[in-house]
Amino acid sequence: MSLWVDKYRPTSLAKLDYHKEQANQLRNLVQCGDFPHLLVYGPSGAGKKTRIMCLLRELYGAGVEKLRIEHQSIVAPSKKKIEINTIASNYHLEVNPSDAGNSDRVVIQELIKTVAQSQQIQSSTQREFKVVLLTEVDRLTKDAQHALRRTMEKYMATCRLILCCNSTSKVISPIRSRCLAVRVPLPSTEEVCSVLMGVCKKEGLLLPAELARQIAEKSGRNLRKALLMCEACRVQQYPFSADQNIPETDWEVYLRETANAIINQQSPQRLLEVRARLYELLTHCIPAEIIMKGLVTELLSNCDGHLKPDVAQMAAYYEHRLQLGSKAIYHLEAFVAKFMAIYKKFMEDGLDNFMF
Amino acid sequence: MSKLSLGGKTSSGKLSSWVQPSFGDFFGGSGSNSLPSTKGLSGESKSKTQSSNAGVGGKKLRKRKGEPQTSKLEPGVFSSRRGSQENQDESWVDVHAPQTQAELAVHKKKVEDVESWLRVHLDLKSANKGGAVLLLTGPSGCGKTATVHVLAKDARCHIQEWTNPTTAEYRKDDAFMDSFDPASRFNSFHSSSQTAAFQEFLLRANKYNRLQMSGEDGAQERKIILVEEFPNQFYRQPGCLHDILRRYVRTGRCPMVFIVSDSLSGDTSSRLLFPKDIQEELSIHNISFNPIAPTSMMKVLSRIATVEASKSARISLPDKPALEQLCSGSSGDIRSAINSLQFSSFTDFSLEKSLWASKKGKSSKSAAKSTSRSKGKGRSAKSTDGLEESPAIGGKDASLFLFRALGKILYCKRESYEAGDVPKLPAHLSEHQRDKLLVDPELVIERSHMSGELFNLYLHQNYMDFFSDVEDVARASEYLSDSDFLTAEWTSRSTMLEYGSSVATRGLIHSNSARAQADQPSSVGFKPLHKPHWLHINKTYRENYLTAQSLFISFCLTPVSLVTELVPYLAMLSNPMRNQAQITFIQDVGHLSLRRFPGRLKLEALGDKDPGLLDLDSDTDEAGTQSTEPGAQTTVPADTTAVPTLPNSQEPGGDLPASQPQPTTAEALLDEKDLLIEEYDSD
């Protein structure tokens, strides 16, 4: 038994539940036999990967679904050995080059070279190119992106690249201009609802429309998250009730409690506790950027309108620091301390005004 | 050192100590330790000089002090010097080696500790079978060996000391010796390794008593085994030593004393040779010595100076400021202090004179300085003085243990300005008015022998306890953030590291407005210091991140969505299609205990002698507490009623090393200045 997310993932362009017009366009693109490099972007949980896999199936047939996980080791020119996991079928290769950290340039060059240099054997029955799917392209170093640009031109004859990322802002413009950009927006709340209803129907469950709506809203229209939530609801309680408590992930609850702790008291002791909580979140693999984002969202919803611009500005400042610096805790803590200081000042001022 | 002193006692005339060559030319006395083969020659010269009392011969004459007729012949100039002759050649460290407990400069409590241990374990009738092991640690020159020697003398027992065999001993394959020397049966042992030799030594020292010599009383049969140097192999494989020790503890009969000097580099330290678990396993008693306190060192130095001055007119008694300078310059190393005292007391040494003069100028300056600033400061001012300037003679490269270095930054002592020279800040900046700082942060970092980055981590872990105002904390944390930002670019990191740590330390010091004025009472009192969590956290984070990716690769997700979406929800689902590793991981990472105060973080207290090294690998098995004296670790520190309302996650707990002063309420009330001094010279 696999997760609903995987079980009911559409496998062909025709079966996609939303953005059908885009699906048609993609099908047209493939039907003429060839297509340019693609840059698929959009927020997390919008269905980029699903769409790409559908596209590949349209292109090569069911063969792309036979996936195998390969563990490759690449020797860099500096004799450094780089280990990386790839997912491949006979027709395509999926790799997340940012796994290799600073050596991502080598991964891109070497992997694509090996794929591109091997010609397809029966080119009469198959396409004459392979597809390399690169995920998280926005996390590549600038170095690697420039290397990618060269590689794209060089091996155009034998391979096509599909790049997948959340935002194009971190992709250098030469790459953007070499690709056909495809944006996959988030599904609307209604679309999420209908997908949820459809899945539940296939599972033989009855999902109240009200609950589906709540899940869709709570998930932030992230379809993957919505489906996981729905499945968690099912585990928690069945038959569903409309006012059911929708389970959230532990770390989100924890983060909200942390934000509340910051709001409730502003003192060095409290900051010390908050630090311990931040450490706890980090050990549970929650990336520092996400902690920062979550904290800001929670804090902003809790503080006065006068403070909001300041808080947002501070958050932006320390988020930037977070990206540049090496030790996240300094910057997270500085943000919390700063917030505590201005919040405390604001509250005290407010109290004074109230008194006089 | 013990070997030196032995030589000094047996043959004061025939001395070859290290001081001698430097004085040899001048005194002309170096001939006195001439080889036996030159005896005839010297006899010749004697007869010669007797006949002709030329000025040249006068020099040679002086070495035969036992002969009355030569003394008659000596010119009057020399006669006054003769009394001090033998002592000048000998190192004062040996001449004035302490003979009684009263003479020891070591703190009384430490001496008592060692004495009581020896008393218990020397008593052969006592029930405990097996060898007892004592470990003495402390910086060099703090009187560890002297204490053992004095106490052994008092207890009338004999010290058997291990010395690493030198290569010369390996070549004892003289055929003649072989046939007669009974020890030749063990000759195979010379060619064996030092480790084997050490084992052999222990075995024999343990088994056989010393031969009873006529004239010795029988009470001397008790003995102590003293080990000050270790075969090199033990540094590479401490396990060897532990095996030998385990055997010894089972079978040994006499107490064994190990003396290990603390070193900042940490590679040859007692930590490596005697890790905590071994200390506990073998019930090794550890007594850690502190540097000699300035007061007792002053006592010893002035005593020696008086004695020597009375012996000889050539010795000029250094004045008090000069002695104080020597004291502070030696940073608690009494041996180097006495050596530099000896060196600086020979007034008629031309080269030395200039040194002395320059030093005098300096010391008088510093004396003036210290009197000017010691308004109600007393000793603390002086100790910081010593850090700032090194004397011309005998200046020891003062280094700080991490514990003290952190304390210097976090407690940030200040002194008030003179009435005249207070820098005026404009009104809108008046909140930034601070008194003069007594510590030099860059110097502290340099002396702590750590990279600035790591030092910052330690500061970051500990600074919060020393702040009382949120705004101060906000400012301080901003500086820490700045300093991390400065070192972000790896191409310029090596250059920027120093700036980064400077920004962090100075920022922390400045932003602590509770410590802005010198006369502000310190509100913090003693706080235990802890090791930074960040390295451990960061490591776990990266490991978990990679594990997540490799375990759940089949889900084809980006790592971020994997750990923030999939794993937490998988933790809620009862999905059977998972393997054991995945289930464990989900349990570990997907679930977050929603208790308010996470218990996962273990606070690891920082001992005052901890080298502060980065051992990332040992981070995981950090369960061992850091207590340096397991025996003394019975009292759980009284709860500091600082934050009674909150179940503070940073509670000191039981892992506070005994070497740190325990935070009792009484101590919390103490002035912070007194407290630091107490830490320096009490236990």
Domain that holds residue B21: 2-91
CA angle A274, A277, A282 (to 5 degrees): 125
Test B538 with A276 for CB contact under 8 angstroms.
no
Test B565 with A224 for CB contact under 8 angstroms.
yes
The pLDDT of A297-321, averaged and rounded, is: 91
- Stretches where chain B sits below pLDDT 50 are 1-86, 127, 168-179, 181, 184-185, 187-190, 218-220, 267, 349-392, 394, 596, 598-600, 613-683
Q: Which residues of A touch B558 (CB under 8 A)?
A: 44, 96, 135-136
Q: Which residue in the set B480, B553, B554 is minimally distant from A334, CB to CB?
A: B480
In a domain, B527, yes or no: no
- Please give the Cα distance from B582 to B579 (Å, whole number): 5
Do B278 and B184 share a structural domain? yes
The pLDDT of A253-272, averaged and rounded, is: 90
Q: Please indicate if any CB of chain A lies within 8 Å of the CB of B643.
A: yes
- Please give the Cα distance from B526 to B521 (Å, whole number): 13
- pLDDT at position B521: 66
Test B646 with A340 for CB contact under 8 angstroms.
no
Q: Which residues of B touch A230 (CB under 8 A)?
A: none
- Please give the Cα distance from B291 to B294 (Å, whole number): 9
Task: Give the HSE-up count for residue A10: Cα atoms under 13 Å, Cβ half-sphere.
Answer: 22
Q: Which residues of B touch A83 (CB under 8 A)?
A: none
The pLDDT of A1-27, averaged and rounded, is: 86
**B residues 528-547 near A, CB within 8 Å?**
533-534, 537-538, 540-541, 544-545
- Please give the Cα distance from B356 to B359 (Å, whole number): 5
Test B556 with A331 for CB contact under 8 angstroms.
no
Tokens of B243: 């095996």
Q: What is the pLDDT of residues B29-69, one digit of tens each?
A: 444 443 344 344 444 444 444 444 444 444 443 444 444 44
Using alpha carbons, select from A72, A92, A178 the residue that is nearest to residue A135.
A92
- The interface predicted TM-score (ipTM) is 0.85
Q: Please indicate if any CB of chain B lies within 8 Å of the CB of A333.
A: yes
User: Which of A262, A269, A283 is most worth mutating to test chain B (most B CB atoms within 10 A of its CB)?
Assistant: A283
Nearest Cα of chain A lies from the Cα of B608 at a distance, in angstroms, of 23
Nearest Cα of chain B lies from the Cα of A207 at a distance, in angstroms, of 18
Do B408 and B336 share a structural domain? no
In a domain, B240, yes or no: yes
Do B130 and B265 share a structural domain? yes
User: Looking at B375, B393, B410, which one is the last position of a domain?
Assistant: B375
- pLDDT at position A189: 92
Using alpha carbons, select from B361, B295, B276, B366 the residue that is nearest to residue B334.
B295
Nearest CA in chain A to B487: A325
Dihedral over Cα of B375, B378, B379, B380: its sign: negative
Do B494 and B444 share a structural domain? yes
Q: Which residues of A touch B591 (CB under 8 A)?
A: 250
- pLDDT at position B28: 41
Q: Which residues of B touch A96 (CB under 8 A)?
A: 558-559
Count: domains in chain B: 6
- pLDDT at position B567: 81
Cα distances (Å, whole numbers) of residue A269 to A333, A344, B292, B530: 13, 14, 38, 16
Do B252 and B188 share a structural domain? yes
Q: Which residues of B touch A285 (CB under 8 A)?
A: 541, 544-545, 548, 563, 567, 589
Q: Which residue in the set A231, A276, A333 is minimally distant from B477, CB to CB?
A: A333
Q: Which residue in the set A49, A249, A321 is minimally distant from B568, CB to CB?
A: A249
Q: Which residues of A touch B568 (CB under 8 A)?
A: 249-251
- pLDDT at position B503: 92
Dihedral over Cα of B395, B401, B402, B403: its sign: negative
Q: Please indicate if any CB of chain B lies within 8 Å of the CB of A338.
A: yes
Q: Which residues of A touch B541 (CB under 8 A)?
A: 282-283, 285
Q: Please indicate if any CB of chain A lies within 8 Å of the CB of B641.
A: no
Q: Which residue in the set A235, A271, A329 is minimally distant from B473, CB to CB?
A: A271
Q: Please indicate if any CB of chain A lies within 8 Å of the CB of B104.
A: no
Q: What is the pLDDT of residues B297-306, one digit of tens each?
A: 888 888 888 8
Is residue A221 over pLDDT 80? yes
Nearest CA in chain A to B479: A334
Do B250 and B182 share a structural domain? yes
Using alpha carbons, select from A10, A51, A2, A5 the residue that is nearest to residue A223.
A5
The secondary structure element, H or E, covering residue B414 is: strand B414-415
Test B568 with A250 for CB contact under 8 angstroms.
yes
Do B111 and B146 share a structural domain? yes
Test B592 with A330 for CB contact under 8 angstroms.
no
Q: Which residue in the set A231, A254, A334 is minimally distant from B478, CB to CB?
A: A334
Do B127 and B229 share a structural domain? yes
Test B480 with A333 for CB contact under 8 angstroms.
yes
Q: Please indicate if any CB of chain B lies within 8 Å of the CB of A273.
A: yes
CA angle B31, B33, B38 (to 5 degrees): 70
Token look-up 């095996």 returns B243
- Residue A43 sits at φ, ψ, to 5 deg, of -65, 165
Test B592 with A250 for CB contact under 8 angstroms.
yes
- Please give the Cα distance from B360 to B325 (Å, whole number): 10
Q: Which residues of A touch B571 (CB under 8 A)?
A: 250
- Residue A180 sits at φ, ψ, to 5 deg, of -90, 115
Q: Which residues of A touch B538 (CB under 8 A)?
A: 282, 327
Beta strands A38-41 and A180-183 are parallel
**A residues 90-149 near B, CB within 8 Å?**
94, 96, 99, 135-136
Q: Which residue in the set A136, A250, A272 is minimally distant from B464, CB to CB?
A: A272
- Indicate left, alpha or beta for B266 from its phi (over 0: left) and psi (-120 to 50: alpha): left
User: Which of B524, B545, B569 is most worth mutating to test chain A (most A CB atoms within 10 A of its CB)?
Assistant: B569
In a domain, B128, yes or no: yes
Test B470 with A268 for CB contact under 8 angstroms.
yes
Q: What is the pLDDT of residues B172-200, one digit of tens each?
A: 444 444 445 455 445 444 456 777 888 88
Test B572 with A341 for CB contact under 8 angstroms.
no
Q: How many CB pairs under 8 A join A and B?
A: 197
Is residue A276 over pLDDT 80? yes
Nearest CA in chain A to B601: A276
Q: Which residues of B touch A315 (CB under 8 A)?
A: none
Do B284 and B162 share a structural domain? yes
**By the 8 A CB rule, do B318 and B364 touch?**
no
Sheet with B223-227, side-by-side order of all strands: B158-162, B223-227, B256-261, B133-138, B285-288
Do B504 and B411 share a structural domain? yes
Test A229 with B555 for CB contact under 8 angstroms.
no
- Indicate left, alpha or beta for B475 from its phi (over 0: left) and psi (-120 to 50: alpha): alpha
Map out the domains of chain A as residue ranges.
Answer: 4-183, 189-236, 250-345
Nearest Cα of chain A lies from the Cα of B555 at a distance, in angstroms, of 8
**B residues 649-668 near A, CB within 8 Å?**
649-650
- Please give the Cα distance from B482 to B199 (Å, whole number): 56
Q: Which residues of A touch B570 (CB under 8 A)?
A: 3
- Please give the Cα distance from A349 to B438 (Å, whole number): 37
- pLDDT at position B408: 84
**A residues 53-72 near B, CB within 8 Å?**
69
User: Looking at B234, B256, B288, which one is the last position of a domain?
Assistant: B288
Test A253 with B569 for CB contact under 8 angstroms.
no
Do B510 and B446 share a structural domain? yes
- pLDDT at position B211: 59
Nearest Cα of chain A lies from the Cα of B609 at a distance, in angstroms, of 26
Is residue A181 over pLDDT 70? yes
- Residue A210 sits at φ, ψ, to 5 deg, of -65, -45
In a domain, B85, yes or no: yes
Q: Which residues of B touch A65 (CB under 8 A)?
A: none
Q: Could you please state the CATH topology (level 3) that the domain comprising A250-345 is classified under.
A: Zinc Finger, Delta Prime; domain 3 (1.20.272)
Q: At what angle do helices B108-122 and B144-154 cross, to 10 degrees?
A: 50
Q: Which residue in the set A232, A267, A340 is minimally distant from B573, CB to CB?
A: A232
**By the 8 A CB rule, do B470 and A334 touch?**
no
Do B192 and B143 share a structural domain? yes
CATH architecture of the domain covering A4-183: 3-Layer(aba) Sandwich (3.40)
Helix H, strand E, coil C: the string for chain A is CCCHHHHCCCCCHHHCCCCHHHHHHHHHHHHCCCCCCEEEECCCCCCHHHHHHHHHHHHHCHHHHCCEEEEEEEECCCCCEEEEEEEECCCEEEECHHHHHHHHHHHHHHHHHHHHHCCCCCCCCCCCCEEEEEECHHHCCHHHHHHHHHHHHHCCCCEEEEEEECCHHHCCHHHHHHCEEEECCCCCHHHHHHHHHHHHHHHCCCCCHHHHHHHHHHCCCCHHHHHHHHHHHHHHCCCCCCCCCCCCCHHHHHHHHHHHHHHHCCCHHHHHHHHHHHHHHHHCCCCHHHHHHHHHHHHHHHCCCCCHHHHHHHHHHHHHHHHHCCCHHHHHHHHHHHHHHHHHHHHHHHHHHHHC
